[in-house]
Structure 1
């Protein structure tokens, strides 16, 4: 928080100095045109430039130092005491030659491994999961991965080169690293929103590596989802007489979207639906605490900027690659136990599609758990119940 405050102050000072240079430059130019002495204006510009260089140097220094000081907090018990033998790491790994970041947290490093796959593509939930699902750290070694093009891993690969295969290859490489390091034959897998589809892809290709999978905010058919979301937003906007939203939806037209504005066009209906879900009195603890997550110690100043760049740029490039994917036809049989944790009031990932997929899915074991007071994020909306169900599905004999 301190680094962000200092960064903002220095940036504001720099902006004022730039304005000062422009003003003094304009004043000096006018004096020159009038053949009047402009030496004082030039001296003032020189002083301002020197001060600006100092401010810029300090700003760069703040950014660099904030990067060195990032960490994931040590684990404490309910009384505030450090848990002896616990593991709490914020670590850069090379996955297929690409530098990517993970957090690894657990009370006992010998506990089963649980890899959480964030939503997106381009999203980071490293801090959010630590805040919301800390209880799982008592039972698992919880691993959060900033995928290529997101958060701390935003610059691991040019956005234009990221494909669905990139996530599959690197997700499997991370799985193998975890299995080898912690000497476990298999790990547990959990995916949220986009991560719920990525989890299915990994199960399909590498079933031998996973005990079981939980998908929440389960994505099924990407293009159909976007069309349903668009139609629902239009329906609600007409009901609420939100003419501006209606006009923007009509202007953009129905998905699919391609090109440079995929994110912004999708955001019109997604943000509208998210606002509606957040206002639903049946939904508990609605929404992310984005400010808290951004201020978390895992993220440097650069990471905080990349937090948003991933949501905008990576999503814009990768999401159109997903339009043709439909789990109902492409992944109808899996060799790993699968559980869907669905929020009853989810308007982002249509629960009708997830329910249909669940009923046709063939798996050694499967379960459909409803969260009656949740929307797209049951792990946030009803986190205590969510943890109970995770333990029941994954660890109950």
Structure 2
């Protein structure tokens, strides 16, 4: 009788162990399963890793009566996951620019390169249909800590007319370990961006290039053209930051008012507990994200708490480690740099810029507050300036706004270089 009771119990235990091992194997297989969606790993290599993973899972199922065999299967799956991570890093690349027949376009450039800037190794992508075109340097996404690889897709339509260089600034993405976080400050960013500009001017034999910034990198852009106007045809920005403390205060108040109007008393109370910005302490990101997520809800854009960790996983220039480092870099860079912006006020500190300026402004932007940008634009003295209104909130994401951006860049910005259309 004891033997009869032990038999079914043993089978149930083996079934449960096998089920748990299968769940663990699936989780361990995720780096392999996601390779074609999130990396530039070649298809044949992915198929080989996938077949090996399937074999390991089959081993776990077929050898379900022996715990040791399940461990062997899980160990094999873990090794395959590690191989997938290594492959994602080794094969990270920017996609080629192809002609209508699917072949690399003659005269085009599509490269991802490590460059030396002031004694450090940092990364850029360089993309364009013709290397004789004017150079456009994309300083990177918001943050501090949002890399240029993160938002490079916004410039794909311009690559026929510009050589677009996107920079992963020190401390993020592929440039994650370039500089200790405690060394990140205005001088570092300006010096490195200026060094990158000089490198591009020499490489492409151009006296001046174009400069683009968005949100945080629009701050770097203003600093850069203040100190080195002779290097640039024009400065272009979207989500222009003007006064971070005033911008954040207005954003906090708008978020709190929205939550109260929506009857979300729990989230409103959380904002009240945080209090208005600026914030201090070791983790600045959390209280800022609490109200910035609400502002994104107002604008109908994805929350930062969602897009910051997810979007890098769909950047083919990043391997898996780079994708993680982009999120780590944004958090660490924000904590290190954002407090340094507490006294930023371009109305007082940058009333004159010696090159043409183009501000693309979301009409209902409550992240980079449109009224602050408009106020700065009104008083700004520049050889030429334009404020271009975009529909909706922050950024160039919609097709209509991309069309507006493209039109202005080709008809009013690019001619400043003297290049033929």
- TM interval, shorter chain, is 0.7 to 0.9
State the distance in 2 between where 1:229 and 1:395 align: 34
CA change 1:186–1:396 in 2 (3 A) is closer
SS in 2 for 1:133: helix
Spell out the pairing of 1:1-397 with structure 2 (5 A cutoff): 3=31, 5=33, 57-77=79-99, 80-118=102-140, 119-130=142-153, 132-278=154-300, 294-371=313-390, 373-378=391-396, 380=398, 382-396=401-415
Q: Could you tell me how far 1:100 is from its partner in structure 2?
A: 0.9
Count of equivalent residues: 357
TM-score (norm 2): 0.78
Gap regions ≥5 residues in structure 2 = 1-28, 39-48, 54-65, 417-421
What CA deviation, in whole Å up to 9, does each residue of 1:61-105 have, x standing for no partner?
Answer: 332221110000111246645321100011111111111110000
State the distance in 2 between where 1:394 and 1:317 align: 34
State the distance in 1 between where 2:309 and 2:324 align: 13
**Does the aligned pair in 1 maintain the 2:93–2:111 contact within 8 Å?**
yes
CA change 1:244–1:80 in 2 (3 A) is farther
State the distance in 1 between where 2:73 and 2:183 align: 40
Q: Could you tell me how far 1:125 is from its partner in structure 2?
A: 4.1
CA-atom RMSD, angstroms?
Answer: 2.8
SS in 2 for 1:126: coil
CA change 1:350–1:312 in 2 (3 A) is same
Tell which deviates more after alignment, 350-359 or 46-55: 46-55
TM-score (norm 1): 0.83
SS in 1 for 2:235: strand
CA change 1:291–1:260 in 2 (3 A) is closer
**Does the aligned pair in 2 maintain the 1:190–1:199 contact within 8 Å?**
yes
SS in 2 for 1:188: strand
